[in-house]
Amino acid sequence: MSKKTINYCGIPIEYTLTRKQVKNLNVRINEKGEILVSAKSGMPMNEINSFIESKAEWIIRNLAAVERYNRAKPDSEIYIGKKCYFMGEVFVVDIKQCDVDFVKREEGVITIFSKQPNKSSDVKQQYLQWLKIESVTVFNDSVLRMHSLLANENIPMPTIGIRNMKTRWGSCNPRSKNITLNLQLMKADLECIDHVVLHELIHFKQTNHGKDFYALIDKYMPDWKERRSRLDEKYKDGI
């Protein structure tokens, strides 16, 4: 792996080159805005640089898109005045010194009472633990509702796991009759939570995302696409 630079119309383009067993030259841009190029061993540098130059306008456009995305992405810190979501509603975070750790939710404000209010990592962990406790009843009720909705499908009542996941809203294991729900769902409204729960329950009957799976989800939740779109686009606060 090595750093290389070409100049395109006066603009320096720095990329990281990795030599490996690949058939074609490949270029991609990661979430940090780094340009990553893979090429087979022995390929001359002039060929690689010509390839990068041919992709220069695409690279510049996508670097700008990554930068815009990173600017718009909410930060992952928790602090006084931070905007957060709870069950589809917007709240503002307040943090106060206290001899006992606890969280209080009032109209428009979530107050975190902490023994160490200046230690952001501890405050964040305390908030997530509170969110997990709150999620137990919400998720259990959603599973009961959606399981009842699917009463004619003979789907077993699952056990529920809760994890703070980065890439999935939920997952299921038909063999162990378990579904795992993302703690981040607690930021979303109840309709979105029900959508994810229904999605995972249907996987007990249809393990893949084939036409039979979508026929069932269309049958029981005709507006699921709107719910999914809302879930993917809203309710992100970075915490």
Task: List, for the chain, all residue ranges whose pLDDT scores fall below the cut of 70.
Answer: 72-73
Token output for 211:
């036409």
CA dihedral 83, 122, 165, 201 (to 10 degrees): -90
Amino acid 73: pLDDT = 61
Instruction: Tell me phi and psi for residue 180, to 5 degrees.
Output: -115, 130
User: Rounded to whole angstroms, how far apart are CA atoms 146 and 138?
Assistant: 12
The top-level CATH class assigned to 83-233 is alpha beta
Q: Please state, as a whole number, how many other Cβ atoms lie within 10 Å of the Cβ of residue 137.
A: 9
Q: Where are the domains of the chain?
A: 2-72, 83-233
Amino acid 223: pLDDT = 97
Residue type, 69: Y
User: What's the CA angle centered on 223, arms 217 and 227, to 5 degrees?
Assistant: 100
User: Rounded to whole angstroms, how far apart are CA atoms 196 and 87?
Assistant: 14
Residues 106-160 pLDDT 10s = 999 999 999 999 999 999 999 999 999 999 999 999 999 999 999 999 999 999 9
Amino acid 22: pLDDT = 84
Amino acid 21: pLDDT = 84
Amino acid 185: pLDDT = 98
pTM (predicted TM-score):
0.71
Residues 219-233 pLDDT 10s = 999 999 999 999 988
